[in-house]
Chains A and B, each alone.
Chain A
Amino acid sequence: MADILIYLETAQSSDGAALKKPAAEVATAGRALADALGGRLVAVITGSVAPEGVLGRHGVDEVLHVEGDAFGRHLLDAQAAALEAAMADVEPASVLLAATVLGKELSAFVAGRTGRALISDATSVGADGTQVVASKPKYAGKAMAQIAATRPSIVSLRPNAVPAAENPREAATRTLAVEAPAARVRLREVVPSAETQLELTEADIIVSGGRGIGGPDAWDEILGLASALGAAHGASRAVVDAGWRPHAEQVGQTGKTVSPKLYVACGISGAIQHLAGMSSSKVIVAVNKDPEAPIFKVADYGIVGDVHDVLPMLSEAAGSFLAG
């Protein structure tokens, strides 16, 4: 039991199924863990995608492919059956997957069904001898716990926490026959959101606005900067509660936890509940007219000024800087 199994989510889009962005990160972490334990790295993929090339690039030795309509869309009972079949086949020391909404649900559900140790939302994973040890933020990122699994484990990895690295090899593919269980949860409808933007938790750059933006009409300044930087856009709770932006964009304790490479906080005071959702960002830039705003305590770069002056200036500079 030294092998590592990774479960990779796929996204259905108009041009067919594709691996979601955290897949390369999970594969990278899985490769390193397999090397540390002296095992192979096996990936399980469900639905109709066959991305051996992509996976081989990130160090996967073998791809197990679970086919069938029941596995196309992510429904928990079917995905659990697929993952458990792969686990029975590989008998991995540890299973790694992305700590997305679906990944957190699946990892805990399967850990419960198989009696495996669960470490949820880890930001790194490694081995101490034969034991799997992971770091995970607790108390909204105000503390980091080192957690060891004393039994075979399942670890979900926070998106954007482990940078994807290449480690090319030829990945063999094998089809795994799995019977779809009776669906106790059924999909009735999928309502696409009015506005399409990259999932916040997966974005490399996020521009967020707070009450300091002044109102929904001025939101163009946030969207303008986000577009100049190729970023996703988020909001504080004050903005969401005021109805300026949808809840899906809220960052913080009761919104999303993000760890992009770059987080630009504009007109956000930096309340502890907001920091809870973004303080693990690699680089933080804050724009606020109040030099005492708590956001400056976590910022790497601080601009004391009015957002209505700074944002257009920064958007323009970024536009030409990135083009040049």
Chain B
Amino acid sequence: MKIIVCIKRVVDTETRVKIGADGKSIDLGGVQFITAPYDEMAVEKAIQLRDEAGEGSVTVVTVGPAAATKELRTALAMGADEALHAVTEEHLGPNATAAALQAALGDRAFDLILCGKQATDEDDAAVGPLLAAGLGLPCVAFVHSLTVAAGHAIVEREIDGETEILEVDLPAVLTAQKGLAEPRYPGLKGIMAAKKKPLESVPAEVTDGPTEVRALELPPARSAMVTIEPTPAGMQTLLTALRQEKKVL
């Protein structure tokens, strides 16, 4: 079982976003970076599948800045076997990211590609299905459960409150929803071992994407809060305001 996991270095979810001088990106000064949370879940699941099968390998791949070796090393420390880094300092849209990932994978053999459901910077939930399309593979997005059998996988996902149980031919691209696996913290042994694991860096193949960011802005500020007394009269005031001023009731 050869599994490829696509991971992305993203700004920490706690970050206070400041708009950069170009007005199109965020100011990265003093910002902390993490592996996108869903990507960590995908890495964990891949390690578990490999260990259950007792054979195979987990390759983590990223398209991103030189600094993203840190996130690749973390995945290796969790237990991935090797890492592939397609290096670019450019910000890529979803189409161009998927194309760069596909180019980086080249003609590598694999049974399964796992992505996160969405990277917590772009919030597109797009690169997994885009990559599947590029590779001509089947795709199931947002899976919270996955088991692998000969030639196919059984996955579950939630649609409109119902759980769909699907059978998908392998190789395929799946994207991880919460519930798939709880990522482990890499231990000291893992961190030491990771230093010796193979990490291959290649320049990313950057194509002109068909989307361009024209501007990035902070969302409009919310109006000042109105305090409501915790009394029956307060409740009437609130309900009246919700109906008459805000027109939401």
Contacts and interface: CB of A to CB of B under 8 A. Distances in A.
A253 B13 contact: yes
A247 B235 CA distance: 30
Contacts, number: 266
Contacts of B161: 192-193, 196-197, 199, 248
A303 B235 CA distance: 9
A121 B125 contact: yes
Given A143-B219, A262-B242, A108 B230 contact: no
Interface in B60-77: none
Contact of B230 (A113, A133, A313): A313
A253 B14 CA distance: 11
Contact of A190 (B15, B132, B163, B228): B163
A186 B167 contact: yes
B125 A108 contact: yes
Q: Which of B11, B142, B166 has the most CB of A within 10 A?
A: B166
Nearest to B215: A146
B236 A321 contact: yes
A149 B210 contact: yes
Interface in B83-100: 93-95, 98
B178 interface: yes
A89 interface: no
Nearest to A237: B178
Interface residues of A, number: 96
Main secondary structure of the interface of A (DSSP, over half): mixed
B213 A188 contact: no
A305 B120 CA distance: 34
Interface of A: 11, 20, 74, 76-77, 101-102, 104-113, 115-121, 133, 136-151, 153, 184-193, 196-197, 199, 204-205, 229, 247-248, 250, 253-255, 257, 261-262, 272-273, 276, 279-280, 282-285, 296-306, 309-310, 313-314, 316-318, 321-322
Interface of B: 11, 13-17, 19, 26, 37-38, 93-95, 98, 120-134, 138-142, 144, 154, 157-169, 172, 178-179, 209-219, 222-223, 225-232, 234-236, 238-243, 246, 248-249
